[in-house]
Structure 1
Amino acid sequence: MNIEKRVRQLVEEKIADKPNLFIVDIKMHSNGKLIVLIDGDNGLGIDDCVQVSRHVGFHLEEENVIETAYNLEVSSPGIDFPLTAPRQYAKNVGRSLAIKMADGTKREGVLSGLTEDAIIIEEKIKEKGKKAETVESVIPIDKITETKVLISFK
């Protein structure tokens, strides 16, 4: 049985009654570290992490899914973790994003909204000899290879 697939089922079971929580990523690393990243539309509490961790850990032990020693970590993605789940975009409306495009170009702007398959950003476009203009751009999610939230310490 695929460990990550089973862990996904267990996490989904545990958060089924909490519609504001969602899975961002599940990875079993070769060094025995099993990382479960979950997030919430309104943030994530430590209690949520603890409950998911206990549920997953209990069932993995019961079912003897992992033969070797492993270390289970349940947390929300760190601020430097790229946005991967579409629901993470919704949480970050109003924040500045750094976007790497599939064609290798980079874009930056403030996330102002989203559609089903695209994000809308306000980016400053500067042409030679002109003042920078703020332009609203629609970027299809499937043309993005990585999106990170830019942290401002102003």
Structure 2
Amino acid sequence: MSALEDQTILRETATRVLDAHGLVLEDVEIRRGGGMPQVRLVVDLPEDQLGSVDLDTVADASRTLSEAVDADDAVLGSTPVLLEVTTPGVDRELTQPRHFRRSRGRLLALTVADGTSYRARLLAVHGEELHLRQEPGRDDRGRPVKLPPGTIERPVIPIADVRTARVEVEFDPPADLAQLLADAETTIADHPTAQKES
């Protein structure tokens, strides 16, 4: 089995290099076409950190990783390979608990098992549950849209019930976002059995 097929040494090497740069390995994608094989490493910040990955950090990690690959044929083999280090795109589907933990504070578009759709800010991930604040957006005149009467403003949804979830691009997040997240954590600690969306 070739180094490209096995990936064990590649993953070990990438994990060691990325860890030194404060990054984690999210995924390894290998593409074989008519030319040189392409190895794409998707990296992210650890799940306990908020914000976006600094592109200078990604570039530094990519250089270090390229040097490690060049120095040891056991990582990717002796055949030339195009190595790319990148971050998850904004259109990434959120499928794992760690994806949701990394998305705290972000505005999400979610659909759950019963077909209900939400446009909501992820305030916290507690165990296997998402604590959300619904934000329905604005109408065509720029006025805030109100939630229908009887709607739970802050639903709690089990991750297992989520069928699709993506981060929405947002150009003006709330100025008090850090306080919103801190308040959510305090509320969860004080009231661990918050009302759940049925």
TM-score normalised per structure 1: 0.72
Aligned with 2:157 (options 135, 139, 146): 139
Residues 96 and 111, structure 1, Cα contact 8 Å, conserved in 2:
yes
In 2, Cα distance between equivalents of 1:106 and 1:136: 15
- Whichever of the two has the greater Rg, that structure is 2
Instruction: Rate the CA distance shift 1:124–1:59 in 2: closer, same or farther, 3 A.
Output: closer
In 2, Cα distance between equivalents of 1:86 and 1:138: 15
Residue number in structure 1 paired with 2:52: 43
Instruction: Rate the CA distance shift 1:100–1:134 in 2: closer, same or farther, 3 A.
Output: closer
Residues 10 and 55, structure 1, Cα contact 8 Å, conserved in 2:
no
Aligned with 1:60 (options 69, 77, 83): 69
In 1, Cα distance between equivalents of 2:52 and 2:152: 30
Residues 124 and 133, structure 1, Cα contact 8 Å, conserved in 2:
no
After superposing the two structures, state which structure 1 stretch, 109-118 or 90-99, moved more: 90-99
Query: 1:73 Cα shift?
Result: 1.2
Output the amino acid matched with 1:29.
R
Matched, 1:89 2:100: yes
In 2, Cα distance between equivalents of 1:6 and 1:105: 42
Residues 107 and 121, structure 2, Cα contact 8 Å, conserved in 1:
yes
Q: Deviation digits for residues 64-114 of structure 1, max 9, x if unmatched?
A: 52454432111211211223554443343232212244x473532221211
The alignment yields a C-alpha RMSD, in angstroms, of: 3.1
Gaps of 5+ in 2: 137-147, 173-198
SS at 1:74 equivalent? strand
Residues 11 and 52, structure 1, Cα contact 8 Å, conserved in 2:
no
Output the amino acid matched with 2:14.
V
Percent identical pairs in the alignment equals 20
In 2, Cα distance between equivalents of 1:105 and 1:66: 47
SS at 2:40 equivalent? strand
**Higher fraction of helix:** 2
Alignment of 1:1-154 (within 5 A): 1=3, 2-18=5-21, 20-31=22-33, 32-40=37-45, 41=49, 42-61=51-70, 62-64=72-74, 65-66=76-77, 68-84=79-95, 86-101=97-112, 103=113, 105=115, 107-108=117-118, 109-123=120-134, 131=149, 133-152=151-170
Residues 18 and 25, structure 2, Cα contact 8 Å, conserved in 1:
no
Output the amino acid matched with 2:27.
D
In 1, Cα distance between equivalents of 2:121 and 2:57: 30
Gaps of 5+ in 1: none
